[in-house]
């Protein structure tokens, strides 16, 4: 009789364990692996004194982003930032920014952790005495 009770207890424990595992939270899927940037967008414009220009672009896959200011004419320092487009004002809601001059190589580098719409903001940091023409290259995935 003791052996029968032990077998019944074991069977009940196995059924309870299976039922509990079926009701547990699902496993979290692994984060996507970032891909190297392969898409190039080039933006050119004229920045006015006290101005703020926005250039939208779309990221298709999680991966690297590199922003390079390749020319500013006449030479000056401008603010550049990366963010998301505002749906109400048409401006760029900047996530990260810095003051940059024209130089080889990326001035902003990072990873887009989600696909979606992003933007580049180009702003006068308060030192422009005349409008400047600029070119910015964005490399993304």
Whether residue 6 has pLDDT greater than 70: no
Lowest mean pLDDT among 3-17, 29-43, 81-95, 114-128: 3-17
Q: Is the pLDDT of residue 58 over 50?
A: yes
Asked if the structure places residue 8 within a domain, the reply is no
Mean pLDDT (whole number) for 91-98: 94
Flag whether 34 is in a domain.
no
In a domain, 6, yes or no: no
Residues 99-128 have a mean pLDDT of: 94
**Averaged pLDDT score across all residues of the chain:** 85
Asked whether 56 and 87 are in contact (CB, 8 A), the reply is no
Structural domain contains residue 33: no
Q: Domain tally for the chain?
A: 1
pLDDT value of residue 89? 83
**52 is in which domain, residue-wise?**
39-140
Output 92 or 28, whichever has higher pLDDT.
92
CA–CA gap between residue 92 and residue 83 (Å, rounded) = 6
The β-bridge partners of 73 are 133
Based on the number of CB atoms within 10 Å of its own CB, is 106 exposed (0-12), middle (13-18) or buried (19 or more)? middle
The band of 14, judged by pLDDT with boundaries at 50, 70 and 90, is: very low
77-89 burial, b at 16+ Cβ within 10 Å, e below that, comes to bbbbbbbebeeee
CATH number for 84: 2.60.120.380
Question: Does the residue 116 lie in any domain?
Answer: yes
9 part of a folded domain: no
The pTM of the full predicted model, rounded to 2 decimals, is 0.76
Q: For residue 46, is it within any domain?
A: yes
The answer to whether residue 17 is domain-embedded is: no
Q: Which pLDDT does position 11 carry in this prediction?
A: 47
């Amino acid at each position: 009789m003791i052996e029968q009770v032990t077998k019944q207890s074991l069977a009940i424990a196995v059924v309870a364990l299976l039922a509990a595992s079926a009701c547990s939270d699902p496993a979290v899927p692994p984060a996507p692996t970032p891909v190297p940037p392969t898409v190039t967008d080039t933006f050119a414009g004229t920045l006015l004194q006290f101005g703020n220009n926005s250039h939208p672009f779309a990221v298709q896959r999680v991966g690297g982003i590199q922003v390079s200011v390749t020319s500013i004419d006449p030479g000056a320092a401008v603010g550049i930032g990366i963010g998301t487009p505002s749906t109400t004002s048409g401006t760029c809601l900047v996530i990260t920014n810095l003051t940059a001059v024209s130089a080889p190589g990326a001035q902003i580098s990072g990873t887009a952790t989600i696909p979606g719409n992003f933007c580049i903001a180009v702003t006068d940091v308060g030192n422009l005495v005349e409008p400047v023409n600029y070119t910015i290259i964005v490399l993304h995935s």
